[in-house]
């Protein structure tokens, strides 16, 4: 059987003007991951990443730390994260009557992390429940279909017994959990909130048959006994 290693990007720049940039801590997480994979002697046959900068940067830093910087990072936008900002903009107006401080909290997310998470979870629940304010917002169903197409493309191109790294995001991993295990979107998102930056989730595959072998492993960070390396955004 082959393996697909789903790797969440390193910590991005939460609360900054541009979220889609690895923070210095996120860069360190990617390097620690790569060194750990090298210590394990893991051989990668392919490396795929979404087109987002935080995904691409994590891939390149990890491969460099593994000593395989010459391995090509293929880009597949199917593994991009859903547009959280678009979801918030689309669904926030209907939430404001019940949460009048929501706009202030979301605009100052870095200073209101716990309240931001609570509001974001409410909006995501409405999103995967099929509530959309605009036709331009990618629906949960469309997002899952996009991720599914990427997985099928990966499987159809995979050699028998291949080891493939996919550098992606928490929402994408959540969609794959839903697709592969059959758990509900609500259950999948309960797991989503636990996904650590640069954690590994392993899928085992034979042809198009796929099973979840492990989820959210972040031993590479735990071994350093530095709690600040374990982050969730």
pLDDT tens-digit series, residues 118-136: 888 999 999 998 876 667 8
**Residue 109: pLDDT over 90:** no
Whose tokens are 């997480």? That residue is 29
Instruction: Please report the pLDDT score of residue 18 as a whole number.
Output: 73
Instruction: Please report the pLDDT score of residue 133 as a whole number.
Output: 61
d(CA 95, CA 105): 13
**Residue 102: pLDDT over 90:** no
Torsion of CA 128, 132, 135, 138, to 10 degrees: -30
Instruction: Please report the pLDDT score of residue 211 as a whole number.
Output: 98
Q: What angle do CA 213, 57, 42 make, to 5 degrees?
A: 40
Q: Average pLDDT for residues 43-69, to the nearest whole number?
A: 97
Instruction: Please report the pLDDT score of residue 15 as a whole number.
Output: 62
Instruction: Please report the pLDDT score of residue 108 as a whole number.
Output: 80
Q: Average pLDDT for residues 49-77, to the nearest whole number?
A: 97
Q: Average pLDDT for residues 12-41, to the nearest whole number?
A: 90
Instruction: Please report the pLDDT score of residue 198 as a whole number.
Output: 98
pTM: 0.93
Tell me the β-bridge partners of 217.
200
d(CA 114, CA 120): 10
Of the pLDDT bands very low, low, confident and very high (cuts 50, 70, 90), residue 16 is: low
Per DSSP, the three-state class of 61 is helix
- pLDDT cut 90: percent of the chain above it: 75
Q: How far is CA 113 from CA 47, 90, 100, 176, 209, in A?
A: 33, 21, 17, 26, 39
Instruction: Please report the pLDDT score of residue 131 as a whole number.
Output: 76
pLDDT tens-digit series, residues 140-198: 999 999 999 999 999 999 988 999 999 999 999 999 999 999 999 999 999 999 999 99
Instruction: Please report the pLDDT score of residue 114 as a whole number.
Output: 85
Lowest model confidence (mean pLDDT) among 13-27, 40-54, 196-210: 13-27
Of the pLDDT bands very low, low, confident and very high (cuts 50, 70, 90), residue 210 is: very high
Asked whether the beta carbons of 168 and 62 are under 8 A apart, the reply is: no
- Please report, for the chain, the start and end positions of each structural domain, with discontinuous segments joined by +: 2-81+144-229, 84-128
Q: Average pLDDT for residues 205-210, to the nearest whole number?
A: 95
Maximum CA extent, the chain? 55
What is the CATH T-level fold of the domain 2-81+144-229, as seen in this structure?
A: Rossmann fold (3.40.50)
């Amino acid at each position: 059987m082959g393996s697909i290693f789903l790797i969440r990007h390193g910590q991005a720049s939460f609360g900054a003007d541009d979220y889609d940039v690895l923070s210095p801590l996120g860069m360190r997480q990617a390097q620690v991951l790569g060194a750990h994979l090298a210590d394990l002697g893991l051989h990668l046959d392919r490396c795929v990443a979404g087109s987002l900068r935080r995904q691409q940067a994590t891939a390149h830093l990890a491969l460099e730390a593994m000593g395989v910087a010459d391995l090509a990072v293929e880009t597949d936008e199917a593994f991009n994260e859903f547009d959280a900002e678009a979801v918030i903009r689309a669904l926030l107006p209907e939430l404001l009557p019940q949460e009048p401080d929501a706009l202030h909290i979301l605009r100052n997310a870095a200073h209101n992390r716990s309240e931001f998470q609570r509001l974001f979870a409410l909006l995501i629940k409405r999103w995967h429940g099929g509530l959309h304010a605009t036709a331009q917002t990618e629906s949960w169903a469309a997002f899952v279909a996009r991720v599914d197409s990427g997985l099928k493309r990966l499987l159809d191109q995979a050699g028998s017994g291949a080891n493939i790294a996919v550098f992606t995001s928490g929402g994408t991993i959540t969609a794959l959990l839903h697709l592969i295990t059959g758990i509900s979107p609500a259950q999948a998102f309960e797991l989503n909130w636990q996904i650590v930056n640069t954690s590994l989730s392993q899928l085992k595959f034979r042809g198009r048959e796929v099973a979840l072998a492990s989820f959210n492993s972040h031993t590479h960070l735990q071994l350093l006994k530095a709690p600040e390396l374990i982050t969730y955004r």
